[in-house]
Structure 1
Amino acid sequence: MPTAEAMLQSDFATMPDLIRAHAAERPDKTAIVSPGRVIDFRTLDARMDRVAAALQRDSVPRKSAVAILAAPSIDYAVVFLGAVRAGCAATPIAPSATPEQIAAMVADSGSPLLFVDAANAAAIAGAGITAEQIRLDNSDGGRALSDWLAPEGAAPSPVTIAPQDPFNIIYSSGTTGTPKGIVQPHAMRWAHIARNAAAGFGNAVTMIATPLYSNTTLVSFLPTLAWGGTVVLMPKFDAHQYLELAEQHRATHTMLVPVQYARIMALPDFDRFDLTSFRLKTSTSAPFAPALKADIVARWPGLLVEYYGMTEGGGTCILNCTANPTKLHTVGQPVEGHDIRLIDDDGNEVPQGQTGEVVGRSPAMMSGYHGRKDATDAATWRDAHGNLFIRHGDIGRFDEDGFLQLMDRKKDMIISGGFNIYPSDLEAVLREHEGVIDCSVIGVPSERWGETPVGFYVGNGDADPDAILDWFNGKVGKTQRLAALEPIDELPRSAIGKVLKRELRDRWLEKHA
């Protein structure tokens, strides 16, 4: 087998082969740390073999899904990577979904097995899941992982993996119906690994505080292991504990979503922690306030880099926040080799400086939605030469320097009286009020205007909603004025920090029916 270095410098390598190479070359190097447990590359490689051999023993076909439903743990990572070694598609399922959605996702994937921990097994009891359940944490009530695994020393039959073979399936975070399964091939994961050649992951200690079912996590988790670094897994995010672990392990890299950064930076004792070991902090998945970026750059050592992209792939933008203090309102410029364009409602490209829907093309693109050709076709756009692009669903514009500024999700744009209103513009103004900690603006039906904007906010102190509303409406144009503003204890968010505007809309409609 080639060395890990040779593979990382090649045109294509697989994650299982890279783990094998690191196990041979640096067997005692720590691969993953989680509370009370550490696993080195030798042990990780051997456990992956036992998972792959057990899947082959059970006649689980190559390219088929292997579903996992659990909190992040070393065993979760072992099953995920072992499934990939067997030529299967690791399929992490979000525990935050309803039991009915989870059952539908497992059925849609076709996975014959479901690796699940005790808490999630209890949550889905009675949901009608027919896949055999393997208890990832060896808890009572199902077949224990330790009993299911192939014996120690077992080796699977070698599997040849092609670039377009499925690596994993990630289900989109839909709030209604069954989320779509995004099939990500090995070529896409390799592109994520290869693009991090200069990121220093080989000697990294990477803090992981987001769920393993999220692409947000995997674009940091997988490159760290692929380059031979160490991952520190947090089963559940806590801002104070995060800083304690980062200081303890001398963390060098991390991927956090904006709401996590906000909670960390708001801690009164943030500045007492020694974070000088950090070299690279990254963020993605949700809007990142310019003021928060600036605060992190000022007070947290190491580079801060924002990624803008999709789980489906397409084009990616990168913003080096540390090097571009005047561009913090943007998501950066397209990565080299990535083609990002803007189109209008008729599918025509728009001139530089005008707004349009973001579409992107790159080496890192999904194979399609699992079993959903119609949805795959709807998510794509072709240019005049027939090149395939993926629709990002965002509205944006490029400035004179080629930096992309996002306006909003296309589906969230409010059309009121014929005018396009971008909720992000209104939210930026609302956050300027000293009584507002967090906020979100949605469109609701209006007999007079078709749609009209209303706001929800998390308050700071005893600020009067009517007074904040009057202040806000005095600062914006007539077409942007809020019809109403409601206080809320906490905005509903997904596990990776996205505001669930559908839940806010449902709350409004139920209250004002």
Structure 2
Amino acid sequence: MSDLIRDHAARRGERIAVRMDDDALTYAEFDRQVDRVAAALQREGVGMGEAVSVCAATSVRYAALYMGVLRAGGAVAPIAPGVTGAQMAAMIADSGARLAFLDAGTRATLADHADGLTAGFVAMDGSDVGTDWADWIAPADAVPAPVTISPDGPFNIIYSSGTTGVPKGIVHSNTMRWRQMGAGGKAGYDEAVIINSTPLYSNTTLVTFLPTLAWGGTVVLMKKFDARRFLELAEATRATHTMLVPVQYRRIMADPDFDRFDLSAFRFKTCTSAPFAAELKADVVARWPGKLVEYYGLTEGGCSFVLICDEHPDKLHTVGVPLPGHEVKLLGEDGREVAPGEPGEIVGRSGTMMNGYLNRDDKTSEMIWHDENGDAWFRQGDIGRLDEDGFLILTDRKKDMIISGGFNIFPSDIEAVARGCDGVEDISVVGVPSEQWGETPIAFAVGAATPDAIKTYTNERVGKTQRLSDVVMVDELPRSAIGKVLKRELREKYLAA
């Protein structure tokens, strides 16, 4: 990756590499900034494969830091700014980082939990949270010592979003990332102007951010997503590519002035990370130029699926077919493959699989299923079935499945029905303990509909075991930064009340 950046600086040095608002660096400027970061890291003693932690808002400086860590031979350990102070401290310590790059907001979060940390702090934003960036970075003419990376060595450590518990560090190797970037030419990243509106700590962002820089395109960063601002930015920059999560697509398409914006330069739009409703996909295909491609898979790797929506309008209810070289099996509760067309737990394997969870061999072992040959497959955590053409239809998260009266209930089935009720804008169903049934489904809904109306409408249209016991109206559903509904928070909130 570092060599590719240097090559672009030599061949297309005046092309913009990264910009955010008025801050922009050409490839020549970006390459020099990366050199200065790498030299400073080596001065601090950061060695091969050693983690460098960063927990800060998105910025051009963040992008240069990311590439600088790689050029120094280190591994980037990005952390979500929205975590608690205890979680932040735990992740910095878990990564083993000797340096943590923070800004005023994240340092304030960490304040009461920093005492036991050995990492030194560097301030990304000029605030008084550690050594100032301007004082820390190496001089303008600094050149780092060349390094030879190991193919199996760590490229980054991505901490899981924590929607189902304490985040775990997912270790990606240099080889895994290289394979992911290999198809970038087919997607046109070499001439791309891509808008990344999701944060840089997220793998959702990295699957387009990294290939764009690897192939020499231009990355346009947004510090915070706003639908109208996205449309204005896309028109002004003549954006060709973007990666968005479903809730962002929904907000953009709902903008009353969407059709007046010139989006004709778009060639490639991608989506991942959360369920993408078929009717929303159809709307995007109909009204927004360029291909729409949905990806389904895990940050950990395994089997990834792709759906080219424009080419398969009759398959928008699916997440597509396995990528070339990716394999999938569906398992029953007995650990054996289910019959064709039957739902089962999704396990997959490919050439893009994580090294494992950092310092968590137990969790890595839980993730793996071995076939009769002893080969390792990753448990994807979801339930799904394959249609007659091999397209995957997701049923639900295995951990979200509700067992009521001995019957398996999938929240997504109930949610799909409830969305048909007038006045329901968004809805999420979770299971809570029940003395009578073991568990029972309840719904959290957004919109103008009343709880009684939603409950009556839904319960008239679902099976007896699927009937809602309660409906709670909320202003909005809690979501992670990449759009996943935090069902655990909903469940905890209900039980606490």
Judge same fold: TM > 0.5, yes or no.
Answer: yes
- Comparing 15-24 with 205-214, which one deviates more in the overlay? 15-24
Distance 1:439 1:292 in 2: 15
Please name the residue that 1:403 is paired with: 391
Distance 1:229 1:175 in 2: 33
* 2:55 equivalent to 1:65: no
RMSD: 1.1
- What's the offset of the Cα at 1:119? 2.0
Q: 1:41 aligns with which of 27, 43, 56?
A: 27
The CA distance in 1 between the partners of 2:446 and 2:191, in whole Å, is 41
Deviations 1:223-265 (A, max 9, x none): 0010100000001101100100000000000000000111111
Question: Conserved in 1, the CA contact under 8 Å of 2:103 and 2:129?
Answer: no
Stretches of 4+ aligned residues off by more than 6 angstroms: none
Query: Residues of 1 paired with 2:471 and 2:341: CA distance?
Result: 32
Quote how far apart the aligned CAs of 1:139 are.
Answer: 2.2
Distance in structure 2 (CA, Å) of the matches to 1:391 and 1:197: 30
Aligned letter for 1:21? D
**Matching of residue 355 in structure 1 with residue 343 in structure 2:** yes
Matching of residue 474 in structure 1 with residue 460 in structure 2: yes
| 2:122 maps to 1:140 | no
Q: Determine if the alignment matches structure 1 residue 419 to structure 2 residue 407.
A: yes
Report the counterpart of residue 484 of structure 2 in structure 1: 498
Q: Which residue of the other structure, out of 64, 85, 106, is the alignment partner of 2:71?
A: 85
Distance of 1:62 and 1:74 partners within structure 2: 24
SS in structure 2 at match of 1:220:
helix
Report the CA distance between 1:177 and its aligned residue.
5.6
Q: Does 2:101 match 1:115? A: yes
Answer yes or no: is the 8 Å Cα contact 1:66–1:113 preserved in 2.
Answer: yes
Shift of 1:346: 2.9
Q: Superposed, which structure 2 residues align to 1:196-345 within 5 Å?
A: 196-345=184-333
TM-score (norm 1): 0.95
Distance in structure 1 (CA, Å) of the matches to 2:165 and 2:454 = 36
What secondary structure, in the 3-state scheme, does the structure 2 residue paired with 1:125 have? Answer: helix
Output one character per residue of 1:115-172: Cα deviation in whole Å (capped at 9) or x when no partner.
1112222222222244211011222342111111111121111110122110000101
CA distance in 2, matches of 1:325, 1:176: 33
Deviations 1:391-418 (A, max 9, x none): 1100000000000000111000011111
Residue 488 of structure 1 corresponds to: 474
- Corresponding position of 1:127: 113
Shift of 1:85: 1.0
Aligned to 2:183: 195
Q: Distance in 1 between matches of 2:129 and 2:75?
A: 26
Structure 2 counterpart of 1:494, one-letter code: S
Residue 445 of structure 2 aligns with an amino acid whose one-letter code is Y
Structure 1 residue 322 displacement after superposition:
1.0
The answer to whether structure 1 residue 364 and structure 2 residue 322 are counterparts is no
Q: 1:144 to 1:127 in 2, by over 3 A?
A: same
User: Does the CA-based 8 Å contact 1:283-1:305 persist in structure 2?
Assistant: yes
- 1:29 corresponds to 2:10: no
Shift of 1:347: 2.1
Corresponding residue for residue 369 of structure 2:
381
User: Which residue is 2:91 aligned to?
Assistant: 105
Please list every run of 5 or more consecutive structure 1 residues that lacks an aligned counterpart in the other structure: 1-14
Q: 2:170 aligns with which of 169, 172, 182?
A: 182
Residue type at the aligned position of 1:238: D
1:75 — aligned with what?
A: 61
Q: Structure 2: how far apart are the matches of 1:250 and 1:123?
A: 37
Contact 2:72/2:144 (CA < 8 Å) preserved in 1?
yes
Q: Give deviations 1:349-386, integer Å, cap 9, x for gaps.
A: 22221111111111111100001111111101122222
The alpha carbon displacement at 1:176 in A equals 6.9
